[in-house]
A and B are shown apart, each in its own frame.
Chain A
């Protein structure tokens, strides 16, 4: 099976030689179709830089990012815009819904951006709305929704064009625990039932326990990997293992390696 996303020797340095910060320092990993991958690390470890590189918000210094075997860095203009809208779906920590558009209009926004006729995606929208339980808020404005509803509308927007991979940047960061749990259940359900590929950056161990595999990143390098023994290992056990790693990283890599 071909990987959906291939990252190879990815580097991104900030600043000049005297005061250089190595945000990403030669990261290599792959994401297979239908995988639910988590990336964890403390603040400043480089996880957001990694996600931004994949989302083409920033250009890496060296290395390559390939989606379905195609290098992302070579994309320009319309192709690049198409990549952002169709190949990847982005789920933001602060939802990033347009507050002057209804839920329905927000979900359809990517269609409008990429000139996809509304008719083609109506069925998918109904499916997604049903699955994410947002039918009641479709015609409401974001200000009339709860945080969880907003994030689920945002998830529907990220999924509407059936992207190759969903990039989720701390999706539970702005949610209370109940809403966070609902959202993670829905995301992992989407992953399990529809085979959606998800790459999630988080430092919430609870959210991370929904993943099948977790990469730990520190000072711009990958330093550990956890795999859940699915289905033997329960989510609770996996959560325990994640907590242990996180406790160790609190003291720096010297305590782990």
Chain B
């Protein structure tokens, strides 16, 4: 009998509070996926190249896991408290019938444990499958290829997920059951109507909402101006203003909703009732709602900014070269490297193998004012003022001793990239600027000036700058970049460098070598072969690995956090609404007796849910526009900042996607509400 009671009660809890049950499932899935991250193909792959960074990421992940456990503990505590409070009468009856408190405790513990085990039994297989899917999809997306796919199942992750989940459930349960055990039977048996909150004069609420709006406006302006990133005090002020503003706004919001109830079109069906219901819940639960709104804001910022950052790292720029072999002057000349490659039968794997020569002007001892381009600077100064122009002016004034590049080797690079070669006569030079230091806007400005073939002076000799700005990367290693360089015809290059220059042997894999398995696996394979030759080299893969690391780190962590925040906020709002609805069940019964049909009641509750979710989501969405912009201006690199409007669009799209997810969630709560209303109807109700 006792076990039957346990299983029946557990089933009823799951049915009545399906929302919490599904949230628990999602949190189990989230726990497992983050814990099983080291077993994902991308991570295994990255570990080979960026093991230090990956290890650091794993350390951060365990901190995130602990943090998520901590936050989810409160969610479980909060939702379970409501569930147990609702059953207070039932517990009172058990005790009245002579059930001992120890047995009641055992009953509740068994119910809780049963539900937890069921959640794990359902959640873990789903989590393992999802993790597998994520592993395959990411591997495919980044081009590692799925041939070397390893099953991402991790027993360690399963155990930690189960342990963490059971631990927080148990902790919440112990705290709650101690509360119940201390209550008198009488107070358990008594219906617990929701306590009325003491009402202050409406002026207080009016002042609070106004203060909230002002504080938020101030916080927004601090955030959007970017001042906050310069000084920790300004940042702290912006955050504090934002927090205070949100709490204050929600505290005073009841007043505004009351106004809407009085001023709105009263003739609409149950308009006043709906607004009074919303007003009551918002006033009563203003702090929780404000907190939920902040959590949603955090989730939106994580998603929005995370995706934009993910995209900015994810843009690998141009890809021409697969390998660069640095040629040290002492040992390996270019010919030695070529010979070594052909000795190992690897020369046929490359479609292009050429020398890239760069160096400094050696015809003078001085390193200052070797190069002057006053005409360029003058033209630039006369141009319409813009941020790009100012940055360019600032950067170019330091270009007094630029690198020079040999035209012959650069043309070979262009040929490898499938671009037409440059033609320069003596006394002419082309400008090279790396994209890492520039933006399309700055390149356009520069091209506009170069169209006029301005005269410059290199080591006292006149030089005509011609052609478009060149931006093709000279070597694979993205840590070697040139902000400004001159491409000189080969004779001039030899003359100015006096034969003292650096040489890199650049290589491009043939189509067959790259194969179908994806470039990543092709390069991995080639790396293995090259390691046998003992040659030092830099591959495109290492750079990609670095990019990928940032992508994966930013992607996983931001999305993970966003999901956790969203789960908590939505569950709290949803559970809170449904519990409130349950408690105000009497009102719905009165309405039904006054002639409101079940449909009318559902419609009314649905409207309330839309508002109840809409208010915190609306505030959060509005705030997130400023929050994301602030995050993007503070975190993004100079190059990525050029695309700020585009990034904002990406973020806006992400926010939209999240809003769609919210809509689905809201719909689920609405359905639960419909079911809840049906159960509230008088049992003898017949239509």
Contact = CB atoms under 8 A, between A and B. Distances in A.
Interface of A: 52, 55-59, 76-78, 80-86, 90, 92, 96-101, 105, 108-118, 143, 157
A148 to B, nearest CB: 19
B56 interface: no
B276 A109 contact: no
B193 to A, nearest CB: 9
Contacts of B590: 92, 96-98
Interface in B583-634: 584, 586-587, 590-591, 593-597, 600
A76 B593 contact: no
A232 to B, nearest CB: 39
A59 B685 CA distance: 8
Contacts of A78: 597
Nearest to B686: A59
Most buried by A among B267, B273, B279, B594: B594
B267 A117 contact: yes
Interface in B260-280: 266-273, 276-277, 279-280
Contacts of B596: 81, 85, 113
10 residue pairs, one from A and one from B, having the closest CB atoms: A85-B595, A84-B595, A81-B597, A96-B590, A100-B276, A59-B686, A58-B684, A100-B280, A105-B272, A81-B595
Contacts of B685: 57
A52 B600 CA distance: 21
Given A98-B587, A105-B272, A86 B597 contact: no
22 contacts: A52-B684, A57-B593, A57-B682, A76-B687, A77-B687, A80-B687, A81-B597, A84-B595, A92-B590, A96-B593, A99-B587, A100-B584, A101-B272, A101-B273, A105-B273, A108-B266, A109-B270, A109-B272, A110-B595, A113-B595, A115-B267, A143-B196
B266 A118 contact: yes
A90 B589 CA distance: 13
Contact of B270 (A81, A99, A113): A113
B595 A86 contact: yes
Contacts of A112: 266-273
Interface in B293-309: none
A133 to B, nearest CB: 23
In the complex, which range does the number of interface residues on chain B fall in? 20 to 34
A109 B273 CA distance: 8
A105 B276 contact: yes
Given A84-B593, A105-B272, A108-B272, A113 B600 contact: yes
B587 A115 contact: no
B194 to A, nearest CB: 10
Most buried by B among A58, A96, A112, A117: A112
Contact of A113 (B277, B586, B591, B684): B591
Contacts of A80: 597, 687
Interface in B523-555: none
B27 to A, nearest CB: 34
Interface string B556-595: 0000000000000000000000000000101100110111
A42 B267 CA distance: 42
B272 A84 contact: no
Given A81-B595, A81-B600, 4 more contacts: A80-B597, A109-B270, A109-B272, A113-B600
A92 B686 CA distance: 20
Contacts of A57: 593, 682, 684-685
